Amino acid sequence: MAAPEWHDLGDLETLRQSPLQEIVIGKTRLAVSWRDGKLAVISGACNHVGGPLGQGILEGDYVVCPWHQWRFHRVTGKGEPGFEEDAVPAFATKIENGRVYVDLASATERTRKKHAPHPLSRPIERAPGPVRVVGISTTVMDRAYPRPSTSERLLEVSLEEARTAQGCETKLIRLDELKFRHCEGFYSKSARACTWPCSITQMDPTDQMDQIYEAFVHWADVILVATPIRWGCASSLYYKMVERCNTIQNQETIGGRVLLKNKVAAFIITGGQDNVQGVAGQMLTFFAEIGCQFPQHPFIAHSRGWSAEDMENNIRYVEESSELKDGARGLARRSIDMAKLFTSGQHPALELVPGGRKAHRLSFTEPKAP
49 interacts with ligand FES by CB under 6 A: yes
Q: Considering only residues 39, 41, 46, 131, which one is a binding residue for ligand FES as defined by CB under 6 A?
A: 46
Residue 355 C-beta: closest distance to ligand FES, Å = 25
What does the alpha-carbon distance between residue 79 and residue 107 come to, in Å, rounded to a whole number? Answer: 16
Q: Between residues 126 and 189, which has the closer beta carbon with respect to ligand FES? A: 189
Q: Where are the beta strands (DSSP E) in the chain?
A: 6-11, 20-25, 28-35, 38-43, 57-59, 62-64, 71-73, 90-96, 99-103, 132-137, 169-174, 222-228, 264-271, 299-303
> Are 109 and 22 a contacting pair, CB within 8 Å?
no
Residue 115 C-beta: closest distance to ligand FES, Å = 11
Q: Between residues 80 and 337, which has the closer beta carbon with respect to ligand FES? A: 80
71 interacts with ligand FES by CB under 6 A: no
Task: Count the residues of the shown chain that bind ligand FES, applying the rule CB under 6 A.
Answer: 10
Q: Between residues 103 and 204, which has the closer beta carbon with respect to ligand FES? A: 204
What does the alpha-carbon distance between residue 297 and residue 267 come to, in Å, rounded to a whole number? Answer: 10
Query: What's the distance, Cα to Cα, between the start and end of the chain in Å?
Result: 67
How many Cβ atoms sit within 10 Å of the Cβ of residue 13?
10
70 interacts with ligand FES by CB under 6 A: yes
How many Cβ atoms sit within 10 Å of the Cβ of residue 311?
13
48 interacts with ligand FES by CB under 6 A: yes
Task: Please name the helix (run of DSSP H) or strand (run of DSSP E) that holds residue 263, with its range, or none.
Answer: none
Residues 6+ apart with CB under 8 A from 29: 22, 23, 43, 44, 45, 52, 53, 54
Q: Give the chain's count of helices (H) and strands (E).
A: 10, 14
63 interacts with ligand FES by CB under 6 A: no
88 interacts with ligand FES by CB under 6 A: no
Q: Between residues 72 and 239, which has the closer beta carbon with respect to ligand FES? A: 72
67 interacts with ligand FES by CB under 6 A: yes
What does the alpha-carbon distance between residue 57 and residue 76 come to, in Å, rounded to a whole number? Answer: 17
Residue 248 C-beta: closest distance to ligand FES, Å = 19
Residue 220 C-beta: closest distance to ligand FES, Å = 29
254 interacts with ligand FES by CB under 6 A: no
Q: Between residues 71 and 334, which has the closer beta carbon with respect to ligand FES? A: 71
Q: Between residues 114 and 361, which has the closer beta carbon with respect to ligand FES? A: 114
Q: Between residues 48 and 340, which has the closer beta carbon with respect to ligand FES? A: 48
65 interacts with ligand FES by CB under 6 A: yes
CA of residue 154 relative to chain centroid, distance: 28
Calculated CA dihedral for residues 210, 211, 212, 215, nearest 10 degrees: 120
Window 176-215: residues binding ligand FES (CB under 6 A): none
Contact set with ligand FES (CB under 6 A): 46, 48-51, 65, 67-70
